[in-house]
Structure 1
Amino acid sequence: MSYEKIVINSVLEESISSYYAILKQQKIPPEISITDTKLVGLFNRNALSRIFSNIIDNTIKYSDGDLSISLSENGEIIFSNHASGLTEVQVRKLFNRFYTVSTARKSTGLGLSIAKMLTEEMGGTIAACYHENIISIHISFDVEKQIKC
């Protein structure tokens, strides 16, 4: 992969925008909190976009009707939603290749494993947590902060 300096805020905003119509159609109003501080790092733009898209796509399939996306100044991105049909055992397997929570016909079970591979290839970390019927996917990258003026 080729890397370049990328403002992670912009790629996240573009990914959310590309799913806006689908989220609206599925009645999943996203709650978005993105820092005004520009967070810059060495990334592959396509890979970063693919990570965000795979996670949002997964949310659309399994959400109980909500989605929260946040990007904090420390470079942590959190996608969270209610998913009452999950168990902690299932959540621990989400990043395994070919694992699917359900046997949906359009699901290959590769989306989150690809997100994990790409995140780690760019030096980041990714993990899933499940608490009180809320699944959260946490992604963290090393970033430089550039205060927005």
Structure 2
Amino acid sequence: MLKTALIILFAILFFLSLTALLLYRRQVRGLAQQLKDLEPGSNQRLTCSVRDRNILSLCRLVNTYIDSQQKLVLQAREAEEKLKYTIASVSHDIRTPLTGASGYMQMAEKTEDPDKRKEYCRIVRGRLKDLEQLLDQLFLYTKLTSQEISLQMELVSLFPLVCEVLTGFYGKFQEQNREPSLDFQEEAIQIQGDSSQLKRVLGNLVSNSLSYGLGTLFIFQKGNTLTFSNKVKDPGSIDPDQMFVRFYRGDPSRNASKSSHAGLGLSIARELTQAMGGKIEARLHEDILEIVLTFQGISR
């Protein structure tokens, strides 16, 4: 009687084990088929019908791997779109001064008037200078985003540095019949930074005002902040949250052939300011645009 019971028990255990083995094999084949049918970049996930801890754990691990690969695919697509946009923007901005220089060079070759030829050559030199500045900006932006630029941090007197930068733009202020207005609470204030890169940041902000601003450029210092403030031509076209994005141009109606700006000036200013431990932000109050620099490590 005992022997019969043991045989029946073993038979039941064998049947259950065989059933479990068949279910496992069917589930493994199912997982393999799901993986085979999985399209690259698909959001589809593996499913399990066997409620076994080990099978479920394997399924979760595979799904986690699929998720990570999906993120890589999305990142690659995003990078590809950014690259296409960058190439299109750069090629357009490089082509603009080259086309202008070529056109005026042809006019200079055809004219017999020495005064006109001289004027055309002056314009060609200006277009080539624009191209040189554009390539310099692109090169610097590439170095900044790849963190290949080295900074020589030191205490820098801010007031004379701002005056030096403004002096370099004297001619352009005169051309636009505009002028800057300086208001420093502490002319002796010093900040931590790289003087040459600080000049580039300040120069880019002044250049941005000359390109898109109106009237007086107000520059005022209070504590550890330096604010650039001026009226803008078309406040409705400006998004302060996007101003420091590369290739952003606030005035959509701007004719690129009349400007050498590649929409990198404010992006470079942000990258350099952050690299020196500072912060830069933009605010728009009706038709008044403010760009605020916040410095670290000030000294009085």
Q: Tell me whether the two structures share a fold, i.e. TM-score over 0.5.
A: yes
Corresponding residue for 1:124?
278
Q: C-alpha separation between the residues in 2 aligned to 1:64 and 1:89? A: 14
Q: Is 1:100 aligned to residue 249 of structure 2?
A: yes
Does residue 16 (structure 1) correspond to residue 170 (structure 2)? The answer is: no
C-alpha contact 1:125 1:140 (8 A) present in aligned 2 = yes
Structure-1 separation of matches of 2:153 and 2:231:
34
Q: Which runs of structure 1 show a deviation greater than 6 angstroms over 4 or more consecutive aligned residues?
A: none
The one-letter code sitting in structure 2 at the alignment partner of 1:63 is G
SS of the counterpart of 2:240?
Answer: helix
- Report which structure shows greater RCO (CA 8 Å, sep ≥6): 1
| Structure 1 match to 2:225 | 76
Q: Distance in 2 between matches of 1:122 and 1:40?
A: 14
Change (3 A) 1:54 1:21: same
The separation in 2 between residues aligned to 1:76 and 1:100, in whole angstroms, is: 25
Report how far residue 79 of structure 1 moved.
0.4
**SS of corresponding position for 1:92:** coil
The DSSP-based 3-state class of the residue aligned with 1:145 is coil
The 1:81/1:44 distance shift into structure 2, 3 A limit, reads same
Matched positions, count: 145
Question: What corresponds to 1:34 in structure 2?
Answer: 184
Higher helix residue share? 2
Determine the C-alpha separation between the residues in 1 that align with 2:285 and 2:215.
Answer: 17
Offset of 1:89 from its aligned partner? 5.3
Aligned partners of 2:185, 2:171: CA distance in 1, in Å?
A: 23
| Identity of matched residues, % | 28
Note the alpha carbon deviations across 1:116-135, whole angstroms, 9 max, x for none: 00001101110000011000
Pick from 196, 199, 206 the counterpart of residue 56 of structure 1.
206
1:64, 1:81 within 8 Å by CA — same for their partners in 2?
yes
Shift of 1:42: 2.2
Which residue in the other structure is 1:136 paired with?
290
Unaligned runs of 5+ in 1: none
137-146 vs 86-95, which moves further: 86-95
Q: Which has the higher strand share?
A: 1
Letter aligned with residue 18 of structure 1? G
Q: Give the drift of 1:35.
A: 2.9
> Structure 1 stretch 129-138 or stretch 1-10: which is displaced more?
1-10
d(CA) in 2 for partners of 1:93, 1:141: 21
Name the aligned partner's letter for residue 203 of structure 2.
S
